[in-house]
Chains A and B, each alone.
Chain A
Amino acid sequence: MTLRFENETCSGCKACQLVCTLHNFKEINPSKAMLNVHGRFPAPGKYHVDVCNQCGECAEACPAEAIKFKDGTYIIDYDICIECLICVDACPTNVMKVNKEDNTPYKCNNCRQCVEICPRDALIFEQKGA
C-alpha cells in the first residue's frame, strides 16, 4: 500500500503538511513535512504534491543497508544509519528529509494522516501499482 497524489482535485492548502508534522513530531511546522506541496503558477495553474510511494530507491542507494522494507513501508534503522545522506540524493521525489538538529534522514512512514485530513481527496492510499 502506498500514497498516490491526484492533481485534479488538490487546491494547495497544505493541510497534509500540517498534520504530518503535528502527528509525527508533535510540532506545527509544515517545512518539516514528509511531503511537499508545489503550486505551478501562473502557468499551467496546477498543484503538485511530492509523496513517498515507497519505491525503495533510498534503500537501494543506502551503503549501510539501513533502510528496510517492513509491512509495506521502507523504514530507516537509526542504529545502522551512518548519516551519509546518500538516500536524500537518491530519492526521486525529494521527500527524504534531513533533520536539521542531528543531520539524520527521515521519511514517510505511511501513517496516512495526510490521506485522512485532505479535504479534497487528493491523497489516496492504495495497493502499490494499482
Chain B
Amino acid sequence: MIYGYAGTTLRIDLTDEKIVKEPLKQEWVDGYIGGRGFTAKILFDENPPEVDPYEGDNIFIIAMGPLSGHLLPASGKTHFCTKSPATGGYGDSNMGGHFGVNMKYAGYDVMILKGKAKQQSYIFIEDDNVEIRPAQQYWGKGSTQVEEELKKELGEDFQILTIGPAGENLVKFACISHDFGRQAGRIGIGAVLGSKNIKAIAVKGTKSIPVFDPAGLLQKGKETYAACRAKPGFTAWTPQGTAGITDWCNNVGALPTRNFKTSYCDYADKINGQAILKELKITDKGCFACPIPCGKYGFAKTKLGNAYVEGPEYETLSLLGSNCEVKDIHEIAYLNYICDELGLDTCSGGAVVSFALECYEKGLISKEDMGMDVKFGDLESIVHILKIITERKGIGNALADGVKAAAEVVGNDSDKFAIHVKGLEWTGYESRNAPGMMLGYMTADIGAHHGRCWVLGNDVAGSADAGNVTDLITSEQNTTTLSKAKHEHVVPIVLKSQHTRPAFDILGTCRLQYMEIGLETDYYEDLFYTITGKKIKWDELLKLSEKIWTLNRMYNFREISDFGRKYDYPPARFYEEPIPDGPNKGHFIALDVIEQMLDEYYSARGWDNNGYPTEETLINFGLA
C-alpha cells in the first residue's frame, strides 16, 4: 500500500486482449510523483523509439496524481499522454470531470493501452472487472450521443470518455470528450485512441484510496475549501470562468482575430463572459471537487439548429469566435457543440478553420476543393469546413492533418500564416505584443499551448490597457513591470511559469485555484503530507517539473530526426507582419529578438545553441 495512491497500474494489450494488473512502481512514485511525471517517464522508457503515432505499439497512457480523488479543491484532473500525431513528439493533454477519479477509485493510478483492438471496441472497467467489449453500435456516432447511450446501457454512475468521428478518422486534432462537455483536446489524443479501434472507456470505481492521516486530511481539506471561499477571486472569477478574460484580452490587444491577422476586434462585448451568462447559461458545471466551476452549461439557438453545450470557454470564444470572425455568442456555442460531437479540439479546430478561410479568401484553395463558397464569420461555412475535415473530404483531408501539414499542400507561402509551433496550433493569446507569452508558446514541449506557460499579465503590465489584470489573474503576480513589448528579463518569468503550471499536472489537481483565485502553495504542501505521509516543499516540486521539462525535450530529440532550434520558432506572421490595427497597431517581435530570447532561454535551461540539453544539465537531473 502506498498512501495517497490506488496502488495499481492497469495494462491492456488490445491486440492480444491481455489485461495485466501490476503494483504501481515505487520508482515512479519516488522519482516522478504522479500525473505528468508518470506519463513523461513511462513514455520515454516504454514507447519504442521512432514508433509511428498510429501504430499499435505507440502506447496511450492515462495517469492520476497522488492528490487526485482526495478531499481538496478540484482534485479530478486526468492526464493523458502518447506520442503526438500532430507533432511527432511528446504529447499530453488533460481534462477535469469525473473520469480519472473513478479510475483511481476502481484501483488504478495508471492505465496503459497498447496494440490495436481486432474490432471496434470500448473498454469496460468496474473495479476489478476489466473487459474489452464490442462497440460497432457506437462507431460513427457523436461523442455526446455515445456518452448518453453508454450511460443508459451501463448506468449513470459510470464515467465515460469517448471519441467522435474525427478520432475514428485519425484527424490530428481529434479530442477525447467526457461528462457532456469536458475535453482532453490537444495533440490529437483522440486520434490515437481511434487508431487503436477504441471508441470509449467506461469506468466505475467504488474502492477507497488509502490516506496517511484521514483526520488531518479532513481538517486540512475543509480549511482549503474555506480558504478558497475567502479569496476575492472566488466570487469575482467564478461566475464567468475563463470567458471572463475576453474583454481584457481584447483591450490589451491579445485576442486572436481573423486567423491571427490582428489582435483586436470591435465586437468583444458580444462574445464575452457576460454574453454567455445573458444568452446561454443554464447552470454552472464543475469538475470533481471544484469550488470554482468554470464550466457554463447552456443552450444555443441558431439558424442551423439548437444545442445543449458546455461552454464556450475562453479558448473556444477566441479561436472559433473572433479568430473566425463569428460575432454571435449563440453561433460560437453552436460551433463548440459541433466540434464536441465530431470530436474535434476547439482550439486547433478554430485555428485550422481560420487558416482555411484565409487560404480560400486569397484564392489558394479552390471552391471545388473546398466544396462550397466559404467566408469568415459565416456559420454555414465553418460548419462545412469542420465536417469536411472530419470526413477527410476534398481539402478537408489536408486540413485534418493540421495547419503545418496543410500549408505544405496549399503552398504559396501559406506557411507564413499557418499559426502553430512544432505542428500544434496556437491557442487564444496573440503574442506580437507579448514577448514572454510568445517565448512560452515557442518552447512548450507539446507545441503552441498556453497550458504550460501564461505570462501575458507580465508582458502587458504597465501598458495603459492592462487595467485590472491582477484582479483577474491573482497568481504569477506582476511584480516585474515591463513596458510594452519589452523582451528583456522575460526568461526567468517564463521558466517559472513553465515549471509552476505543470506542477499541478504532476499532483493530479487543477491549477486554476492557484492561478485564478490565488490559493497559496502552502496548502498543497500540507495536503500532500496528510495524504501521502511524505513531506515535499513547493521548490522541490518545481525542480521535478524542470527535470520533466528536460526529459520531454530529450524525447522530442529522440523522436524527431531534425529536431532542434528550428522547431522553436513562431510562424513568420508573428515576426514579419506588424499588427494592422487595435491597441498594438504596428507591433511585432522581430526575428533578431526571437533569436536573442531563444539564446537566453537555452542558456538559462542549460541547453546548447540548438536547444539540446548539455551533458552537465542531464547529469544534474539524473538523466544522463
Contact = CB atoms under 8 A, between A and B. Distances in A.
Interface of A: 9-15, 18-19, 21-23, 26-32, 38-39, 41-47, 116-117, 119-120
Contacts of A120: 284, 291, 293
Nearest to A41: B180
Contacts of A21: 208
Given A13-B293, A31-B105, A41-B180, 10 more contacts: A11-B285, A14-B289, A22-B211, A29-B105, A31-B157, A45-B299, A117-B225, A119-B225, A119-B291, A119-B292
Nearest to B285: A11
B105 A26 contact: no
A39 B290 CA distance: 15
Contacts of B283: 10-11, 45-47
Contact of A11 (B207, B225, B284): B284
A100 to B, nearest CB: 8
A22 B205 CA distance: 16
A41 B148 CA distance: 8
Interface in B503-526: none
B105 A41 contact: no
A43 to B, nearest CB: 6
Interface stretch (B212-220, B395-403, B589-597): B212-220
B429 interface: no
Interface residues of B, number: 45
Contacts of A45: 282-283, 285, 297-299, 308
A44 B229 contact: no
Contacts of A119: 225, 228-229, 234, 290-292
Contacts of A9: 284
B218 A22 contact: yes
Contacts, number: 107
A27 B208 contact: yes
Contact of A42 (B287, B293, B308): B308
A12 B179 CA distance: 11
Given A13-B291, A119-B225, A119-B228, A22 B207 contact: no
B50 interface: no
Contact of A28 (B70, B215, B282): B70
B305 to A, nearest CB: 14
13 contacts: A13-B289, A13-B290, A18-B70, A18-B221, A23-B218, A29-B206, A41-B179, A41-B297, A42-B144, A119-B225, A119-B228, A119-B234, A119-B291
Nearest to B281: A45
Contacts of B308: 41-43, 45
Contacts of A31: 105, 157, 205-206
A11 B283 CA distance: 7
B240 to A, nearest CB: 14
B286 A11 contact: yes
Contact of A22 (B148, B221, B287): B221
B132 interface: no
Nearest to B225: A117
A47 B157 CA distance: 14
Interface string B58-75: 000000000001110000
A119 B299 CA distance: 25
A19 B218 contact: yes
Contacts of A13: 286-291, 293
B392 interface: no
B295 interface: yes
B427 to A, nearest CB: 25
B291 A27 contact: no
B215 A26 contact: yes
A120 to B, nearest CB: 7
Given A47-B283, A119-B229, A28 B205 contact: no
Given A29-B207, A29-B208, A42-B148, A11 B299 contact: no
Contacts of A39: 156, 179-180
Interface in B219-251: 221-222, 225, 228-229, 234
B79 interface: no
Nearest to A26: B214
B209 interface: yes
B180 A18 contact: no
A46 B282 CA distance: 8
Given A22-B218, A26-B215, A29-B208, A15 B284 contact: no
